[in-house]
Amino acid sequence: MTDKKLSLGQAIDNIITALENLDENAQKTALSAVCSHLGITLGPIEVQAAATSYEETQETRVKPAVEVAETQQRKKIDIRSLKEDKKPKTALQMACVVAYYLQEHVAQSERKETISTKDVEKYFKQAGYKLPKKLNQVLVDAKNSGYFESVGRAQYKLAPVGYNLVVHGLPSKKGT
């Protein structure tokens, strides 16, 4: 293996080149072994996208796979559903949920690594979460609590502590 990074298109071309001379059963076995090794679970949509004919152009071959991956990662969740699933108890926790939502669940073209008070206000409202009295203080307090890192004037990035809170700590268990 080399340390050279490949683009998505190059990676797909390499896989196709490696598999194109094998029979269908050998191709399926190879792909299954690779997915198992990488810990990837293929769902029915991905199998359908992977089953497209080799004669298609690279652009039409790549696009469905990318769209499937994006759709599966987002799982068609909106901020209100995420809030109801995570059940944040404080505005600081809700700010973390908003930042996580903007990083992981919005359409690829709308994803953001940083958030501001405007994002907090917009997504608190969309989620049906009560606005705090001092809205402009929420991200400052969340940063001071370790949930965010300041990355510029009034811009904050979800820190690992905040990410772990959303992914692994919410909803909080009773008594904790």
**Residue 58: its pLDDT value, please?**
45
Helices (H), the chain: 8-19, 24-38, 44-50, 58-74, 79-86, 91-104, 117-127, 138-144, 160-164
Between 37 and 62, the higher pLDDT residue: 37
**Residue 12: its pLDDT value, please?**
76
For the domain 79-169, what is the CATH code?
A: 1.10.10
**Residue 175: its pLDDT value, please?**
54
**Residue 54: its pLDDT value, please?**
42
Domain ranges of the chain: 8-74, 79-169
- Tokens 């690279």 appear where? 58
**Residue 64: its pLDDT value, please?**
53
**Residue 29: its pLDDT value, please?**
77
Cα separation, 40 vs 38, in Å, equals 6
Under 8 Å between Cβ of 139 and 116: yes
pLDDT at 67 over 90: no
Cα separation, 50 vs 128, in Å, equals 39
DSSP 15-31: HHHHHTTS-HHHHHHHH
Of the listed ranges 16-20, 31-35, 47-51, 61-65, the least confidently predicted one is 47-51
pLDDT at 163 over 80: yes
Q: How does residue 42 score in pLDDT terms, banded at 50, 70 and 90?
A: low
Cα separation, 19 vs 15, in Å, equals 6
Full-model pTM? 0.59
What is the Cα 111 distance to its own chain's centre?
A: 9
| Digit-coded pLDDT (tens) for 73-83 | 445 699 999 99
Helix (H, G, I), strand (E, B) or coil at 158: strand
Averaged over 75-92, what is the pLDDT?
92
Between 21 and 89, the higher pLDDT residue: 89
What is the Cα 65 distance to its own chain's centre?
A: 16
